[in-house]
Structure 1
Amino acid sequence: MCADASSRVGANPRGPLRACSLAVRDHLTSFIDEAGAPPALIVGLSGGADSLALALTTIDVAARAGIPVVTVTVDHGLRAGSGEEARRVADLATSLGARGVVETVAVDGPGGPEGAARDARRAALRAVAQREGAPILLGHTMDDQAETVLLRLARGSGPSSLRAIAPISRDDDGVTWLRPLLGLRRADTEAACAQAGLTPVEDPTNDIDGPWRAADGSPLRRSALRHRAIPALASALGVDPVPALARTAALCAADDDALAQWARALADSATLGEGYDSEKARPSLAVSDLLGAPRAVRTRALRDAARAAGIRALSSAHVDALDDLVVAWRGQGPIDLPGGTASRVGRGANARISFVAREVGDPTAPDPT
């Protein structure tokens, strides 16, 4: 008979198992101190070492606090026998003391197999979290953080993107995502599972020669980073790059928070008030206030104002065009944005940047095809 989580972890665990347990306990304590004790905890459990170590220690910590745990194992249906494998993982979670459930999803969205699977998995987790009224715990580690930083560096990202994976994040729909293991390494979770006598599931999609490929037939980008780029960096630099990359994410997060706070203050002072641009109550920012701010702050304020108007998913080209309305005005505009437009209206001290969201079914909207 399989021992439950608390029996496997023990009263005084050592080594990597202790590190995982303390990380989960400290993270949950901080969350509960701020938000209160949730009715349950949702753990995303693929069966791999990271999520299995997370599930084990979360079930143990939660049991001591009297909080039930629901593990969610998502069957993507992309491999033969995946449903049976998902059921075994859920049964293991049940034996450890959780309520193990399997969610079957269809992977048919945009972004290739990796992106579509991630979106389907997150949607399944979100649905369970909303049903239970509970936060979701994910098993991302420092290694995942380093990989994410490198992927975003390759796209030419700034601090907002290079902050990478947040320890705690909240969606607009109120769902909270917790990542207690970001300070630990993948080797820690593997060793913790071994200490507890648990055998993780090996996912072939994580292999460099796995069944999923990029559009050009090469390995998936994250797999290539994991198996080739990071080892090459370690060899070239003579030092493990993962802690430094994770530290970069933390520093960018702090800088981004400061810039965002400054931008909110700028937007508040520059906002001309509802109804300033006629009966449509278009959000408007005074150009004179924006001109005195550094570009990094100014563009954040413009992006925030666009978001307040219901205009989202702005690219760097959109942001550049918005900023040109402020600092390189030559009579251009209106600027077409995803879901709306922005224009410079008025002259001199009365000049302002005005945002208008496009109504659903607007005949002036660009044809998406």
Structure 2
Amino acid sequence: MRDALAAAGYPERVLVACSGGPDSLALAAVAAHFARRGTVDGHPVSVAAVVVDHQLQEGSAGVAAETVAVLQELGLSPVQLRTVEVAATGFGPEAAARDARHAALEAAADELGCGAILLGHTLDDQAEQVLLGLARGSGTRSLAGMRPARGRLLRPFLGLRREETLEICAVEGLDPWHDPHNTDPAFARSRTRVDVMPLLEEKLGPGVAESLARTAAILQQDADFLEELAAGRYAGLVQRTDDGVWLPEAAVRELPPALRFRVIAKAAADVGGQQPGYGRLQAAEALLRRQGSAGPVQLPGNVSVYRLSLAGQAEEKLALAKQPGQPDVPRGGDGCGKLVFRHHKTPQH
């Protein structure tokens, strides 16, 4: 934890997120050690904690209340209990719970004046994340797993195995809560944890989890480098209108594929969309080849992208045709060579 706080610039006040499970409870115990000392490497520090009740399981309120009491006994102060409503987002229950939890953590950190939020993810969690990303055919950013630091979020235990957090709890005399969802075969992550990872260790030998986590660390560097390049290219290419953005078709076509796809994804995000999957990105990128349809291609988050070409050409007529519920597309020869992105308030059909 010392290294994580040092990398974050030694925030004077930190917030521990704790579910009562072994990983986050072990993290709370380690944080409490520094809280009692009042310093980290000579820098003053105080530690607060928050328990988030997602209300997704029977008895969750009781588990949350017991966890609050344990954290208070450890000496963390103040300890907040936040109850959240998990709304359906279309990306699955785990993603919805994560979004609700992170919103609650950020709100608690703002209220308590905390410069960092400590999360208890371990090396095992990182390995499972990479394996799930690989199984889903995700790109570099997904395979890079969880970052040790992202904004205020810090993950000091990414180098620790899950069994080590159990040992910390045992040494500290703590009785962690074991979330039944972690072994529920209804969840892909649970199946990965209970069935897939042990099988890989059995068939390939020990060290699979460490290798997957090491892969994530390497890919994080690669992904960061590509994202930095793509951000610079996008900033130099994007043109803004009252109702969207457009990119010069020829310039985007000349980009290397790794940057071209990222620039298209950035344009979609810029107008309020969500991260497109590879299939949708391929469909949008195909517009640059001037073969077949000029669009529109629908991207997640109610974003459409189309190619606006020379006036009078057949492909432009298709692109300029007003789609139900879409705003008017500007007409005229001045639209030559544009890849146009627009966001719509209601889903397109």
Give the match for residue 341 of structure 2. 355
Pairing 1:1-369 to 2, within 5 Å after superposition: 24-32=1-9, 37-38=11-12, 40-62=13-35, 63-64=38-39, 65-98=43-76, 99-107=78-86, 109-110=88-89, 114-134=94-114, 135-170=116-151, 176-207=152-183, 210=184, 214=186, 220-271=187-238, 273-275=239-241, 280=242, 282-337=244-299, 338-347=301-310, 350-358=336-344, 360=345, 365-366=347-348
The one-letter code of the counterpart of 1:94 is Q
In structure 1, C-alpha distance between the alignment counterparts of 2:274 and 2:58, rounded to whole Å:
39
Taking a change above 3 Å as real, the CA distance of residues 113 and 322 of structure 1, as seen in their structure-2 partners, is closer
**Deviation (angstroms), 1:144:** 0.2
- Per mean C-alpha deviation after superposition, the further-off stretch among 94-103 and 152-161 is 94-103
Give the match for residue 313 of structure 2. none
RMSD (CA atoms)? 2.5
Calculate the TM-score normalised by the size of structure 2: 0.82
Q: Deviations over 1:76-125 (max 9, x none)?
A: 34445432332222112112221222222344535555444434333322
In structure 2, C-alpha distance between the alignment counterparts of 1:140 and 1:196, rounded to whole Å:
19
Unpaired segments ≥5 residues, structure 1: 1-23, 171-175, 215-219
The one-letter code of the counterpart of 1:100 is V
> 1:32 aligns to what SS in structure 2?
coil
In structure 2, C-alpha distance between the alignment counterparts of 1:105 and 1:244, rounded to whole Å:
36
Query: Number of paired residues?
Result: 317
Is the contact made by 2:51 and 2:81 (CA closer than 8 Å) also made in structure 1? yes
In structure 1, C-alpha distance between the alignment counterparts of 2:268 and 2:53, rounded to whole Å:
38
The one-letter code of the counterpart of 1:120 is A
In structure 2, C-alpha distance between the alignment counterparts of 1:115 and 1:343, rounded to whole Å:
30
In structure 2, C-alpha distance between the alignment counterparts of 1:329 and 1:132, rounded to whole Å:
56
> 1:283 aligns to what SS in structure 2?
strand
Taking a change above 3 Å as real, the CA distance of residues 310 and 76 of structure 1, as seen in their structure-2 partners, is closer
- Identity, in percent, stands at 37
Calculate the TM-score normalised by the size of structure 1: 0.78
Unpaired segments ≥5 residues, structure 2: 311-332
Taking a change above 3 Å as real, the CA distance of residues 321 and 74 of structure 1, as seen in their structure-2 partners, is same
In structure 1, C-alpha distance between the alignment counterparts of 2:304 and 2:96, rounded to whole Å:
30
- Per mean C-alpha deviation after superposition, the further-off stretch among 105-114 and 226-235 is 105-114
Q: Deviations over 1:320-368 (max 9, x none)?
A: 121111134435223233333222224499512122233x36xxx526x
**Deviation (angstroms), 1:45:** 0.8
In structure 1, C-alpha distance between the alignment counterparts of 2:97 and 2:229, rounded to whole Å:
37
